[in-house]
Structure 1
Amino acid sequence: MAVNMLNIEGLEELDQHAPVVMLNLMRFNERSRDGDGSGWDAYLRYSAITVPMIKGRGGTLLWTGEAKAIALGPHQGNEWDFVALVYYPSVAAFLDMMTSQAYETEADPHRRNACAEHVIIATKEAYSKFRTS
């Protein structure tokens, strides 16, 4: 994500050491902006680069899937193609990845080519059936 779009101020207000799950909402371009396949193809190139970056910071993909239909709420502005839940052990780990030179030069161009729109929402766990404590 281009650093100018990253809400660093808002993220810095969060507990930097607390785990965070990032809810990613994506709408793909029909064609990749660089002309190399579809938006989905560009997203796969982005994922191939970012998944090792996420894992290298102690994070993991929890779930990904196609957004199929609006079940409740306004349709306008909510036409998403894909959803991903990504766990990071801390907000600081997410910020470290997103502001790294490697992300900016190697990964983000593919994301920009792939996505007509990409929103990431930082979440704090209220309940999880997977909690072990």
Structure 2
Amino acid sequence: MSHIDPTRAQFDAFKSLPRDHPIEMLNLVRLRDTADYPGDHALADAGLTGAQAYARYGAESAPVLARLGGSILWRGGFQTTLIGPDDESWDHVFIARYPSAHAFLAMVTDPAYRAAVMHRQAAVLTSRLIRCEPRGSGEVFG
């Protein structure tokens, strides 16, 4: 099963959580070999790879993220899964930080972001977007 956009129930659960504190979103993204734009989109026949379409998404959405006070906190290159499904691999692994859930919601409803997200939808084969509450770091788990 492919996961590209949240279901209504997932989005409602996200919105039901407190909105006035910073959040961090763990992003795990696997790209399509070839971007899959809707037939009426200007890039439908351009033959872009998923990586090229995702790069367009990044370039167009980054100014919105920055304007709302968000940033990419951490990014890494996937190597292997030690615990978890063997069939999951990721092209992009990163953590985005937002000053609040309000900022995240403002981003996903921003007209410039809504135009950019078409590239993400065309690029992504499947993904995981996991909301986390930031906590202090330390030397122990828990």
- TM-score, scaled relative to structure 1: 0.84
1:1-133 equivalences under 5 Å are 7-33=10-36, 34=44, 35-76=46-87, 78-104=88-114, 106-128=115-137
Could you say which structure has the larger radius of gyration?
2
Q: Quick one: structure 1 residues 5 and 115, their matched pair in 2 at CA, closer, same or farther if it must change by over 3 Å?
A: farther
- Residue 16 of structure 1 and its aligned partner are, at CA, apart by 0.7
Greater shift after overlay, 85-94 or 111-120?
A: 111-120
Displacement after TM superposition at 1:89 (Å): 0.1
Matched residue count? 127
Q: Given the superposition, is the C-alpha separation of residues 118 and 43 from structure 1 closer, same or farther in structure 2, using an over 3 Å criterion? A: same
1:24 deviates by: 0.7
Q: What is the alpha-carbon root mean square deviation over aligned residues?
A: 2.1
- 1:3–1:99 contact (8 Å) kept in structure 2: no
**1:45 positional shift:** 0.5
- Residue 103 of structure 2: SS of its match in structure 1? helix
Segments of structure 1 that go 5 or more residues without pairing to the other structure are none
Q: CA deviation at 1:47?
A: 0.4
Runs of 5+ in structure 2 lacking a partner? 37-43
Distance 2:105 2:9 in 1: 9
Name the SS for the 2:120 alignment partner. Answer: helix
Query: Partner amino acid for 1:47?
Result: G
Identity %: 31
Bigger shift: 2-11 or 106-115? Answer: 2-11
Structure 2 distance, partners of 1:56, 1:121, is: 22
